[in-house]
C-alpha cells in the first residue's frame, strides 16, 4: 500500500486489527517518508528507526496473540520535551544536547503500554519558549504548507511532522498556546487539556503552573484516540487530578452543536493585530456552527489587555526557577576549562542557553527579586485570579468561548519579530493557561497565501469530551481538516 499515511487513526487501528497491513509495514512506510521528505521539513531532531521497528514487531506479535489495544502498532512522534529512556531528550537546547533520560515520561510510558510505536523526537523552541520553533538549537522547522514559513511553536516539530504526513499524530505541550498555535499554523486539530488532566512527570518543565501536554492530529477523532492514552491521574505528578477520565473516542457524538451557546468576546475581535483573512475565516466558521444549531452570544472578557503582561511575568518567573537546575554540574552542558566554580556556572549557562531563554531567565529573576517581588510577581498572581474569574463568570451564560488561535497565519522564517511583537501574538492562547482551562484548535480555512487559519474553542474545566465532540461534528460537515499540503501528497 502506498497511501498508508492517508489513513485516519481509526482506519489504522482497524487495518492493523484486520491484518490488512502490519505495524512493520506501516512503520517502514513512515520511516521511508521521513528519510525522503524530512530533509525539507526538518521536523525530527532524532529518528529512532531501530527501536521503532522492534516496537512494530512486538506490536504485530501482540495483535496476533490477541493482546492488542486500539492503538497497538500505530506510530507516533513525541515532542522532544518528553523524556524517553535510552533516547536523547533535548528540549531543543544545547544545554541538553547529550542528555539521555534514565526514565520515560508518564505520557511516553503510557504510549508504550498502549502499543504505540515511537518514530522519533520532534523539534521545538528551546525549553518551549517561543512561537516559531526557530528558537531551537537544532535550527528552524519548515511549515509543510509553505516551506519558507514557520510551523509555529513551541510544538512546531509535532505540527510539521503531522501536517507533512511524517507521523499520524504527535504529542505536544502547551504552556501558553504551544499546541493550539502550531496546530493553527499547520492546519491541524490540537487539544490543550485542563491543567492536571495529563501527567507532567518527565515532561521538561518550562512554567510548571501552566504546562500541560496534549494531542496534535488531523482531526478531533484522531486527537480523542491519543487523549485516551495521555489523560489520567499519575501519582508521580502531584498536580495531576484524581478524577475519572472519559473515553474520549466513545464520547464523540454528532449532537454536540445543537443548542450550544458560543460566546464571542467583543474584545478578541477588536485586537489591533488581527489579520483580516483570519477574522473572516473564523467568522465564517462561526456562521457554519450557527447553521448547525449553535447560538452565538456576544460577551465581554474585560481582562483581555492584562493577558500578555500577566503571562510574561508569571511564565518567566517560573522558568527562572525551573531552569536554575542547569548549572553545568549535575547534568547538561558544561563549559570547558573553568577557572573557578562561578566561571563554570556563568559560562555553562551563557553558552548552553539561547538568547530567548536567557531573556526569560533575566525577566523572571528580576520579577522574583527582593524589592520587586510584590510589585511584579505577587501583583501578576492577583491579576491571574481576576482573569480566571472573568472566564468562570462567562461560563455561567455560555458553554464555550470562540476565538482565533492566533491573530495571524504563519510568519516567514527569519521574520525576526521583536520579542514584544512575538509576545503579542500569544494574546488568544495564554489566558487559557493562566486559568487552567481546556481549549481546542480546529482548521477552518486558508488565507490569501494558502496558509491555514484556525478556530479556537475554549471550554470550562474538564470539558475535553465536549470540545472534541463539537469539533468532530463540525468536521463531519466540513472538509478543512482533510486538506493536505503539497509535500504531504508526495510519495516516498
Active site residue 240: no
Quick one: which of 75, 168, 176, 214 contacts ligand GLN (CB under 6 A)?
Answer: 176
* 409 forms part of the interface with ligand GLN (CB under 6 A): no
CA distance 218 to 479: 11
In a 3-state reduction of DSSP, which class is residue 455?
Answer: strand
Which stretch, 174-182, 228-236, 397-405, 464-472, contacts ligand GLN (CB under 6 A)? 174-182
* 223 forms part of the interface with ligand GLN (CB under 6 A): no
Which stretch, 3-11, 28-36, 168-176, 334-342, contacts ligand GLN (CB under 6 A)? 168-176
Cis peptide before 154 (omega within 30 of 0): yes
Which stretch, 169-177, 275-283, 369-377, 448-456, contacts ligand GLN (CB under 6 A)? 169-177
CA 159, 190, 319, 121 torsion-angle sign: negative
Which stretch, 48-56, 84-92, 122-130, 272-280, contacts ligand GLN (CB under 6 A)? 122-130
Nearer to ligand GLN among residue 200 and residue 347 (C-beta): 200
CA distances from 74 to 27, 128, 204, 313, 434 (A): 8, 26, 25, 40, 34
Q: Which of 154, 155, 219, 348 is catalytic?
A: 154
CA distance 192 to 190: 7
352-371 binders of ligand GLN (CB under 6 A)? none
Whole-number minimum distance, CB 440 to ligand GLN, in Å? 15
- The residues near 313 (Cβ < 8 Å, ≥ 6 apart) are 363, 367, 376, 377, 380
In a 3-state reduction of DSSP, which class is residue 200?
Answer: coil
Please tell me the count of residues contacting ligand GLN according to CB under 6 A: 13
303-332 binders of ligand GLN (CB under 6 A)? 315
* 131 forms part of the interface with ligand GLN (CB under 6 A): yes
CA distance 281 to 258: 21
Quick one: which of 84, 178, 194, 212 contacts ligand GLN (CB under 6 A)?
Answer: 178
Whole-number minimum distance, CB 185 to ligand GLN, in Å? 12
Beta pairing, strands 189-192 & 261-265: unpaired
**Length of the chain counted residue by residue:** 492
Whole-number minimum distance, CB 349 to ligand GLN, in Å? 19
CA distance 319 to 91: 14
Whole-number minimum distance, CB 179 to ligand GLN, in Å? 7
The secondary structure of 241-285 as a DSSP string is ---PPP-TTTT--TTSSTT-EEEEEGGGGG-TT--HHHHHHHHHH
Site string for ligand GLN, 189-208 (x = CB under 6 A): -----------------x--
Residue in 185, 130, 164 with CA at minimum distance from that of residue 41: 164
Active site residue 154: yes
Active site residue 79: yes
In a 3-state reduction of DSSP, which class is residue 417?
Answer: coil
CA distance 281 to 307: 24
Q: Which of 23, 43, 178, 465 is catalytic?
A: 178
Whole-number minimum distance, CB 132 to ligand GLN, in Å? 9
Quick one: which of 73, 115, 120, 130 contacts ligand GLN (CB under 6 A)?
Answer: 130
* 80 forms part of the interface with ligand GLN (CB under 6 A): no
CA distance 168 to 299: 37
Quick one: which of 128, 314, 323, 444 contacts ligand GLN (CB under 6 A)?
Answer: 128
CA 57 to chain centre: 29
B/e letters for 183-218, b = 16+ CB within 10 Å, e = fewer, are bbbbbbbbbbbbbbbbbbbbbbbbbebbbbbbbbbb
Whole-number minimum distance, CB 77 to ligand GLN, in Å? 17
Whole-number minimum distance, CB 410 to ligand GLN, in Å? 14
Which stretch, 47-55, 90-98, 126-134, 392-400, contacts ligand GLN (CB under 6 A)? 126-134
Phi, psi at 457, each rounded to 5°: -120, 125
Site string for ligand GLN, 426-445 (x = CB under 6 A): x-------------------
Quick one: which of 73, 75, 168, 177 contacts ligand GLN (CB under 6 A)?
Answer: 177
The residue whose grid cell reads 447560538 is 295
Q: Annotated catalytic sites, by residue? A: 79, 154, 178
Binding site for ligand GLN (CB under 6 A): 128-131, 154, 174-178, 206, 315, 426
Amino acid at each position: 500500500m502506498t497511501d498508508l499515511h492517508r489513513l485516519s487513526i481509526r482506519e489504522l487501528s482497524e487495518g492493523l486489527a484486520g491484518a490488512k497491513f502490519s505495524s512493520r509495514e506501516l512503520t517502514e512506510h513512515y520511516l521511508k517518508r521521513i528519510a525522503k521528505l524530512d530533509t525539507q521539513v526538518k521536523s525530527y531532531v532524532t529518528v529512532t528507526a531501530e527501536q521503532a521497528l522492534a516496537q512494530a514487531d512486538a506490536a504485530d506479535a501482540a495483535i496476533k496473540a490477541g493482546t492488542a489495544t486500539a492503538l497497538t502498532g500505530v506510530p507516533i512522534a513525541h515532542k522532544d520535551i518528553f523524556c524517553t529512556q535510552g533516547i536523547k531528550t533535548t528540549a531543543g537546547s544545547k544545554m541538553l544536547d547529550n542528555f539521555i533520560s534514565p526514565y520515560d515520561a508518564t505520557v511516553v510510558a503510557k504510549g508504550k503500554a498502549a502499543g504505540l510505536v515511537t518514530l522519533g523526537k520532534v523539534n521545538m523552541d528551546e525549553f518551549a519558549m517561543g512561537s516559531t520553533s526557530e528558537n531551537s538549537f537544532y535550527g528552524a522547522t519548515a511549515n509543510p504548507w509553505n516551506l519558507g514559513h514557520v510551523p509555529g511553536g513551541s510544538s512546531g516539530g509535532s505540527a510539521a511532522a503531522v501536517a507533512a504526513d511524517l507521523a499520524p499524530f504527535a504529542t505536544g505541550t502547551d504552556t501558553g498556546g504551544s499546541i493550539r498555535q502550531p496546530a493553527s499554523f499547520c492546519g491541524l486539530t490540537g487539544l490543550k487539556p485542563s491543567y492536571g488532566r495529563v501527567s507532567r512527570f518527565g515532561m521538561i518543565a518550562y512554567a510548571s503552573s501552566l504546562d500541560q501536554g496534549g494531542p496534535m492530529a488531523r482531526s478531533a477523532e484522531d486527537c480523542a484516540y491519543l487523549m485516551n492514552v495521555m489523560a489520567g491521574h499519575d501519582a508521580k505528578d502531584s498536580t495531576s487530578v484524581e478524577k475519572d477520565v472519559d473515553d474520549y473516542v466513545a464520547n464523540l457524538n454528532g449532537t454536540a452543536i445543537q443548542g450550544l451557546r458560543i460566546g464571542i468576546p467583543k474584545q478578541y475581535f477588536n485586537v489591533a493585530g488581527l489579520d483580516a483573512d483570519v477574522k473572516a475565516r473564523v467568522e465564517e466558521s462561526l456562521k457554519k456552527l450557527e447553521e448547525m444549531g449553535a447560538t452565538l452570544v456576544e460577551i465581554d472578557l474585560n481582562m483581555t489587555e492584562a493577558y500578555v503582561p500577566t503571562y510574561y511575568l508569571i511564565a518567566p518567573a517560573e522558568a527562572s526557577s525551573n531552569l536554575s537546575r542547569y548549572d553545568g554540574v549535575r547534568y547538561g552542558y558544561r563549559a570547558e576549562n573553568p577557572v573557578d566554580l562561578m566561571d563554570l556556572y556563568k559560562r555553562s549557562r551563557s553558552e548552553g542557553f539561547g538568547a530567548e531563554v536567557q531573556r526569560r531567565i533575566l525577566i523572571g529573576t528580576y520579577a522574583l527579586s527582593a524589592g520587586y517581588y510584590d510589585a511584579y510577581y505577587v501583583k501578576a498572581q492577583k491579576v491571574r485570579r481576576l482573569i480566571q474569574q472573568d472566564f468562570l463568570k462567562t461560563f455561567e451564560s455560555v458553554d464555550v468561548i470562540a476565538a482565533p488561535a492566533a491573530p495571524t497565519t504563519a510568519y516567514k522564517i527569519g521574520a525576526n519579530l521583536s520579542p514584544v511583537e512575538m509576545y503579542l501574538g500569544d494574546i488568544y492562547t495564554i489566558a487559557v493557561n493562566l486559568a487552567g482551562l481546556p481549549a481546542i484548535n480546529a482548521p477552518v480555512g486558508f488565507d490569501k497565501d494558502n496558509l491555514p487559519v484556525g478556530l479556537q474553542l475554549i471550554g470550562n474545566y474538564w470539558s475535553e469530551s465536549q470540545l472534541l465532540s463539537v469539533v468532530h461534528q463540525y468536521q463531519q460537515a466540513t472538509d478543512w481538516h482533510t486538506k493536505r499540503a503539497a509535500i504531504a501528497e508526495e510519495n516516498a
